[in-house]
Structure 1
Amino acid sequence: MTRSRMLGLLAEASLLGVAAVDAGLNAAPAWDETAYAALAVLALLVRRRWPVPVFLATLPALAVSGSVIATLIALYTVATRSSNRWLLAGCGVLAATGYLFPGQDFDLFSIDVVLGVIYATMTAAAPIFLGQFVRTHRELTLRLADIEQAREHERRLDAQAVLAKERNQLAREMHDVVSHQVSLIAVQAGALQVSTIDPTARTVAENIRRLSVDTLDELRHMVNLLRAAGTPATELTPQPTLSDLERLVNGSGIETRLVGDAPEGMDAPVQRTIYRTIQEALTNVRKHAPGGVATVEFTRDDTDLTVTVTNTPPTRPTLTLPSARHGLVGLRERAALLGGTVHAAPTSNGGFELQLRLPIADR
C-alpha cells in the first residue's frame, strides 16, 4: 500500500471518528436519537458515491440531537462534487435550518435567535465555500495538466516538422549534388572502358564504374529513407546561381549548346531552381543518352520564363544506372514552390525534353 493511500485511509478514519464522537455526545439515551446518530455516521461511508442522499440522511440527527459534524462533512462532499448553485443553496438552507431547530424558541425579536441564524448561516456556508474552493483547485490543476500536455504535443510536432524539413532538404541536395558527380564518374569510367585497349586500364575502369553504380544505389536508398519523413522544403545555403551555369555546362562531359540569354535580376530561389533543373537534365542526358547533344534554351514572354533542355538520341551504348526518379520529383517540388511547372517527355526523334516554366509577371 502506498503512502498516499495510507494517509487517505487515516484521514477518512479520523473524520468518521470525529463524527461518531460528536453524535455520541449529543445523542440522548432515547432510541430514536441514537438511531439517527448511527445512520448519520454510517452514511458517511458512502458519501462520495451518493453525496446528496448521504447529506439528507444526516439531517435527522442534526435536527433532533444537534449532531452537526456528520452534516458538515456530507455538505462539504456535496460542494466538492457539484457546482450547481441551486443545489448548494438548498443544501445550505437545510443545514442552517437543522442547526437552528433543536431547542430553539423562535421569537423573532430575541437576540439569541438572531445570533443563532448568523451562526447557522456561517456554519452551513463554511463547508460549501471550502468544497467549492477544493473543486476549483482540482479543475484548475487538471486544466493546467491538459495545457502542458498540449504544449508538449505541439513541441513534438514542431520538432518533427523541423526534422522532416531538414531530411527533405538533405535528400534533395544529396541527389542534386552527390549523384551528379557520381553519375559523371560512372559515365566517364564506362567511356574509358569502351575506348581503351589496355587490359589493365579496362579492368580499372570497370571497377570504377561498378563502384560508382553501387554508390548510386546506396545513395538512392539513403534518399528514400530521408524522403520518407520529408516535406516540401526550403533551400539550403550556400546555393548555386545562374553565374555558375557556365561552369556546370563545361563540367557536364557532354556537348551542350546554350540558346538565348540567361535571365538577369531574378530572385535567388528562381536562379537556384533554374540551375538545378538544368543540372538534373544534363545528368539524365549523361545517363540515358551517351553521345547525345544537349540544348539549353531560354525564352521569355510577358508572363512566363521558360527553360527547355532537349537532347538528341544516344550514339553510344547506354549504361544501366539505377534511378528512382527522385530528380524529377524534386524539380516539380521546386517549381511548385514558385508557382511554376515542370514537363518532361520524349521527343519525336528519340530524344528527350525537360521544360521548366516559371511565372515572372510579378517578379
Structure 2
Amino acid sequence: MMSRRCADTLRDVAFVGAALLDVRVNVSLDDPLRMGAALAAACLLLLRRRWPLFVFLFTLPAVLFSDAVVACLAALYTLATFTRRRTLLAACVMAFTLSDMVSWPRLDLWNTAAVITLGYTAATAAAVVFLGQLVQARRDLSLRLAEISLARDHERRLTAQAALAQERAELAREMHDVVSHQVSLIAVRAGALQVGTGDAEAKDAAATIRRLSVQTLDELRHMVNVLRDSQGRPTELTPQPSLADLRRLVDASGIDTELATDLPGGLPSALQRAVYRTVQEALTNVRKHAPGATATVRASYQGDAVRVTVSNTAPTRPALPLPSSHYGLVGLRQRAALLGGTVTSGPTADGGYELLLELPVEEEL
C-alpha cells in the first residue's frame, strides 16, 4: 500500500514538473494572463486522480490562451484511465483540438496548414486517450486475473475438502462395519468367559478385557461421529487425559506396575497429555513385548523440566506375535519434539527396557 502511494506521488511530481517545463519553454513572462492560466493548469494536476474531468476542463484555458499543452494532455490521459464513457472522451479530444487550434483573439482555420495542424493535434489527443484506455484495460485485466486466481484457489480447496470428506466417510464406514464389529465380539466373548469360568485369575482377566473393549467401543463410536460430520461444524473430541488419569491407566494396564510421581497439577495441558501418552505407549509395549514383566513408572519435576521414566524387567515368557505399525516410539518422539523435549529408549543390563521422557517447563509454573 505504501509503495503504491509513493509511486503515485512520484508520478504526480513528474507530471507537474513536465507541465512547468512546458510553461517555461512556451509561455513568456511578459504575458501575465497566459502565464497565470498555464501555471494554474500545472498545479491542478495534483488533483487529477480525484477529479479527472474537473481538472481537464480547468486546464483547457491554458491550451486556449497559450502553447502550454502538457498539463491538459496529462489531465486527458488521467481521465481516459478512469472513465469508460467513450462519447465523453471523444468530446474531450475535440475540445482539446479546437482549443489548441484557436489563435486568440482571432480564429483562422480556413487554410491548408491549419487543416494539417488540426489533424496532427487531434491525433495527438487521440493517442493520449488510447494510451489511457490501454492502461485502464491492463488494470482491469490484472484485477480479473487476480479474481481468477482466487477462484481457482477456492475451487482447489473445495475439491480437497470434498476428497477429504469422502475419505473420512469411507474410513468411518470401515471403522463401524469392521473394527467396531470385531471389538463388540471381543467384549461379548470376554463377558461369556467372565461368567462361565471358575478360575479367579481368568475371571479377572476377562473382566479387564471386557471393560477395555467397552471403553474402546465408546471411543470408536465417537470417532465415527467425528469422521461423519460433513457440515464443517466443530466437533467435540473425547476428553483429553491428564496427570490425574495416570493411576487409572496403570491399574487398567494388566501389568504389575509401581507408580511414583510428584508432578504438580498445574502443568500445561499439552505437557500433561504428553506424559500420559508416553506412559500409555510404554506400558502397551511392555504388555506386548515383555509378557510377565513388572514395570516401574517414575515422574518427577526438577525445577525447569519434567522427567518421566518407564522401565520394565525381563520377560518371563515368550511374546506373542502381535501386529505392530512400529510408529509408537516415533510418534512419542515427535510429540516431545513439538514441546521442546526428547524421548530416549533402550535395553537395560538385566534384560529389561527403559524409556525416558524429558520435557522443559516454563519458569512461571
TM-score bin, normalised by smaller chain: 0.5 to 0.7
Give the Cα separation in 2 of the matches to 1:67 and 1:37.
Answer: 6
Change beyond 3 A, Cα 1:230–1:11: closer
Change beyond 3 A, Cα 1:226–1:35: same
Give the aligned partner of residue 106 of structure 1.
Answer: 108
Give the aligned partner of residue 95 of structure 2.
Answer: 94
Q: Deviations over 1:198-251 (max 9, x none)?
A: 1111111111111111111221121122112379xxxxxxxxxxxxxxxxxxxx
Change beyond 3 A, Cα 1:53–1:4: closer
TM-score normalised to the size of structure 1?
A: 0.60
Give the aligned partner of residue 302 of structure 2.
Answer: none
Give the aligned partner of residue 85 of structure 2.
Answer: 84
- Structure 2 residue 11 is matched with structure 1 residue 11: yes
How far residue 111 of structure 1 moved from its aligned partner, in angstroms, is 2.0
Q: How does 1:301-312 map to 2 (within 5 A)?
A: none
Give the aligned partner of residue 51 of structure 2.
Answer: 50
How far residue 98 of structure 1 moved from its aligned partner, in angstroms, is 1.2
Q: How does 1:235-254 map to 2 (within 5 A)?
A: none
Greater CA deviation, 2-11 or 161-170? 2-11
How far residue 130 of structure 1 moved from its aligned partner, in angstroms, is 0.2
Give the Cα separation in 1 of the matches to 2:4 and 2:87.
Answer: 34
Q: How does 1:150-165 map to 2 (within 5 A)?
A: 150-165=151-166
Aligned residues: 230
How far residue 193 of structure 1 moved from its aligned partner, in angstroms, is 0.8
SS in 2 for 1:67: coil
Give the aligned partner of residue 23 of structure 2.
Answer: 23
Give the Cα separation in 2 of the matches to 1:188 and 1:100.
Answer: 106
Give the aligned partner of residue 331 of structure 1.
Answer: none
How far residue 15 of structure 1 moved from its aligned partner, in angstroms, is 1.4
Change beyond 3 A, Cα 1:47–1:3: closer
Unmatched runs of 5 consecutive residues or more in structure 1: 232-363
How far residue 16 of structure 1 moved from its aligned partner, in angstroms, is 0.6
Give the Cα separation in 1 of the matches to 2:121 and 2:10.
Answer: 29
Give the Cα separation in 2 of the matches to 1:150 and 1:11.
Answer: 33
Give the Cα separation in 2 of the matches to 1:24 and 1:78.
Answer: 25
Q: Deviations over 1:55-102 (max 9, x none)?
A: 011111101112110010000011001010110011000011111113
Give the aligned partner of residue 149 of structure 1.
Answer: 150
How far residue 129 of structure 1 moved from its aligned partner, in angstroms, is 0.3
Change beyond 3 A, Cα 1:166–1:99: same
Give the aligned partner of residue 235 of structure 1.
Answer: none
Q: Deviations over 1:86-142 (max 9, x none)?
A: 10011000011111113686252x221121111111111111000000001100110
Give the aligned partner of residue 318 of structure 2.
Answer: none
Unmatched runs of 5 consecutive residues or more in structure 2: 233-365
Give the Cα separation in 1 of the matches to 2:210 and 2:14.
Answer: 86
Q: Deviations over 1:243-265 (max 9, x none)?
A: xxxxxxxxxxxxxxxxxxxxxxx
Change beyond 3 A, Cα 1:162–1:209: same
Q: How does 1:256-295 map to 2 (within 5 A)?
A: none
Give the aligned partner of residue 298 of structure 2.
Answer: none
Paired residues of 1:24 and 1:37 also in contact (CA < 8 A): no
Give the Cα separation in 2 of the matches to 1:41 and 1:107.
Answer: 28
Q: How does 1:52-67 map to 2 (within 5 A)?
A: 52-67=53-68
Q: Deviations over 1:20-68 (max 9, x none)?
A: 1112322232221122112101111101111111001111110111211
How far residue 3 of structure 1 moved from its aligned partner, in angstroms, is 5.3
Give, as a single letter, the amino acid of the residue that structure 2 aligns with 1:106. Answer: D
Give the aligned partner of residue 192 of structure 1.
Answer: 193
Structure scoring higher RCO (CA < 8 A, sep ≥ 6) equals 1
Give the Cα separation in 1 of the matches to 2:191 and 2:23.
Answer: 103
Measured on the aligned residues, the alpha-carbon RMSD in Å equals 1.9
- Structure 2 residue 172 is matched with structure 1 residue 171: yes
TM-score normalised to the size of structure 2?
A: 0.60
Paired residues of 2:176 and 2:224 also in contact (CA < 8 A): yes
